[in-house]
Amino acid sequence: MIKQVPNIITSLNLLCGSVAVLFAVSGDLVTAAVFVFFGIFFDFFDGLAARLLDAQSDVGLQFDSLADMVTSGVVPGLVMVQLINKSLTGEYFVITKLFSQTEGTAVFNTQYLPLIGLLIIVASGYRLAKFNVDTRQTTGFIGLPTPANTLLILGFALILELQDVPWASDIILNQWFLLGITLLSCILLNAEIPLFALKFKTWDVRSNAKRYLFLTFCLVSLVLLKYLAIPMIIVVYILLSLLWREKID
C-alpha cells in the first residue's frame, strides 16, 4: 500500500485538474486557478513522495505526465481561449456554446479566433511526451515546464479578475498580446533551453543558493505585487536559467 502513495497523490492532481477544466469551460477562471494551484501542489509532492518511499516506477512516471496533461496542459489552453474571447467581446463564455452559434461565415475570424489558444494544449502534450523519453532532464528541464507555463497564463487571468490595475488590464486584453503569448508559450515549452529545477537533494544553503535566492524573490514579489508578480516570476525564472546555464544531465 505504501508504494501506491505517490499514485494516490497524482490522482489528486488529476482530479483537481479535471475540476479546473469544468470551471475554465464555464468561464469561472478564478475557481479554475484555485484547483490548478492545488493540482500543482500535489504534482510537486507526488515525485517527492516517490523518492522518499523508494516507490518510483515507470507507471508512476506515465501517470504523472497524464495528470499534468490535464492540470497543466488542457486548463491553460482553455483559459487562453477565454482570455482571447474576452479581449474580443468583453466577456467570458461557456465554450461549448461556440459550436451552437449560427451567425454565418462573416463572423468566422472573431467567433473562432479564441480557439487558437488550444495550441497550448498541443504544445504541452508534445512537451510532456518528450520529457518522458528525454534522459537529459533528471536534474533540470529543457524547455519551460508545463506547470510554469500554466502559472504564467493563469497569472494574466488573476490580474484581470482580482487586481485593479488598468494599464495591466489594457495590455492583457489586447488580442495581439494574447496571440503572441500563445505562440511564445508553445515555443518555450519545446525550446532547447536548459532551465533549473526547484529540486532540493539536500537543504545545504551553499549548494542550493540559487534556488533559495529565487524562492526569496518569489515570496517578496508576491507580497509586494500580488498577482502582477506571477508573470514576472516566470520571466525572471527563464532569465536566471539562461544566466546560470546549469548543466542538465
Is CATH 1.20.120 what the domain over 2-244 is classified as, yes or no? yes
Residue with cell 539562461: 242
The three three-digit cell numbers of residue 15, written as one number: 482530479
Banded pLDDT at 7 (limits 50, 70, 90): confident
Average pLDDT on 186-202 reads 84
> Would you give the DSSP letter of residue 105?
G
Distance CA 25, CA 174 (A): 21
Distance CA 247, CA 249 (A): 6
Average pLDDT on 40-68 reads 79
Q: What is the pLDDT of residues 206-225, one digit of tens each?
A: 767 788 889 999 999 999 99
The whole model's pTM is what? 0.89
Residue with cell 482530479: 15
pLDDT recorded at residue 44: 84
Distance CA 32, CA 194 (A): 30
Determine contact, residues 41/17, Cβ cutoff 8 Å: no
Question: Quick one: which of 57, 19, 49, 52 has its CA closest to 36?
Answer: 19
Q: What angle do CA 186, 84, 219 make, to 5 degrees?
A: 65
Distance CA 170, CA 235 (A): 20
Question: Quick one: which of 112, 82, 111 has its CA closest to 94?
Answer: 82
Q: Output the CA–CA distances (angstroms, integers) from residue 187 to 48, 77, 97, 123, 181, in the order listed.
A: 29, 14, 30, 8, 10
| Residue 87, pLDDT above cutoff 90 | yes
pLDDT recorded at residue 219: 95
pLDDT recorded at residue 121: 97
| Domain boundaries of the chain, sorted by first residue | 2-244
User: In whole angstroms, what separates CA 235 from the centre of its chain?
Assistant: 13
3-state secondary structure of 2: helix
pLDDT recorded at residue 205: 65
The three three-digit cell numbers of residue 206, written as one number: 551553499
Determine contact, residues 154/230, Cβ cutoff 8 Å: yes
Average pLDDT on 128-152 reads 87
Side chain identity, residue 199? K
